[in-house]
Structure 1
């Protein structure tokens, strides 16, 4: 009886993992498909209209990292990597802080060249690091995430140029909060998979890394061409 129960539990776990894997494959395939669409629309959650009040600023800020597939892919990658190394939360903190700095740089009308290329490159690099995971240096990851955050934040700044202080602050709160939520969700997902499907964990993380890097390659190609 114990053997049958153990075998049944293992069978259910394998079926659950297959369901998760199928869902991940479908989601990643959809993201890659939609990332081929003109990426410029991702930088205008309000349709190009500058937010005029707190709620518009908040919703615009929350929308940008979600409808910007390249931004979304990078935030997910940050969360996945942060969950697999000691003090990984510092990588997320570095990205969030410098993203706000990058928005400020844009609002000060300071030109940051090759922004789209840098964003796409950051997605590719973090995806590759997930797919071919070696022993990653936390300090280097913090620095790289910080540099990437400046470029991602600079792109976010495009949608808030000309706004008053209230919607501007709401915009900063919005995109910081949603990115924190997405990254923490990715970290929780990693924790659950590693606990319940240990044998398949590395394979799934590697697949996610390849999918994220594929999204980055699409955007990198679009940025160059």
Structure 2
């Protein structure tokens, strides 16, 4: 029965990750639906995808209030960053901050280091601001900004939930898997930094 529950959990995590990109890439859809465009955007880039999953994994590792505070902090400030971009308010070094988010989140996962809830919330909120600004800058002019923001907020929340699911699943597995996941996240951040 546990194996069956584990398979269902894994299937739900995979569905949460893939569904937005499938919806956005479905033949016959163009970028006229802001909601679909927003849903697909966070899963369209490995930097956003890994960072948003990582927030969930870190929340699961920390447990307690972090389970809800970290995702809320990230999504809330991500929306603020999107509003900044729509309003023409520039943020410095957005891509660098996104790459740093992968490195920082990867180190936290690999080391199993649990920051105090407030510190972890501030860190995730700060990085969320930059991810949101990037989303806002990549908004297609022909779609509704409001529905686009709703889409990328829902998709991000789903990725956080998927990350929490992955983090909880990893808790019953050997510790090196956390190190592997963290290492992949850090390596991706470093590779993106070298390529930019």
The answer to whether TM tops 0.5 is yes
Matched, 1:94 2:67: no
Residue 208 of structure 1 corresponds to 181
- Residue pairs, 1:1-225, within 5 angstroms: 51-52=31-32, 56-85=33-62, 86-88=64-66, 89-160=68-139, 162-163=141-142, 167-195=144-172, 197=173, 200=174, 202-223=175-196
Unaligned runs of 5+ in 2: 11-23
1: distance between equivalents of 2:189 and 2:114? Answer: 22
> Per the alignment, do residues 135 and 160 of structure 1 end up closer, same or farther by CA in structure 2, a change over 3 Å counting?
closer
Contact 2:75–2:128 (CA under 8 A) maintained in structure 1: yes
Structure 1's unaligned 5+ residue stretches are: 1-12, 21-44
- Whether contact under 8 Å (2:108, 2:114) holds in the other structure is no
- Supply the distance in 2 between the matched residues of 1:82 and 1:120 (Cα, whole angstroms): 20
Query: What SS is found at the alignment partner of 1:94?
Result: helix
CA distance in 2 between counterparts of 1:191 and 1:118 reads 27
| Alpha-carbon distance in structure 1 between the residues aligned to 2:107 and 2:193 | 14
- Once superposed, which parts of structure 1, at least 4 consecutive aligned residues long, lie more than 3 Å away? 161-164
Q: Secondary structure at the match of 1:84?
A: helix
CA distance in structure 2 between the partners assigned to 1:117 and 1:193 by the alignment: 29
Paired with 1:134 and 1:193, the residues of 2 have a C-alpha distance of 15
Answer yes or no: is the 8 Å Cα contact 1:51–1:160 preserved in 2.
no
Q: CA deviation at 1:192?
A: 2.8
Instruction: Give the length in aligned residue pairs.
Output: 170
Change (3 A) 1:127 1:193: closer
Taking structure 1 as the reference length, the TM-score comes to 0.70
How far apart in 2 are the matches of 1:190 and 1:130? Answer: 9
Indicate the structure (1 or 2) with the bigger Cα radius of gyration.
1
Instruction: Name the SS for the 1:112 alignment partner.
Output: coil
Deviates more, 1:139-148 or 1:154-163: 154-163
TM-score (structure 2 length as normaliser)? 0.79
Matched residue, 1:27: none
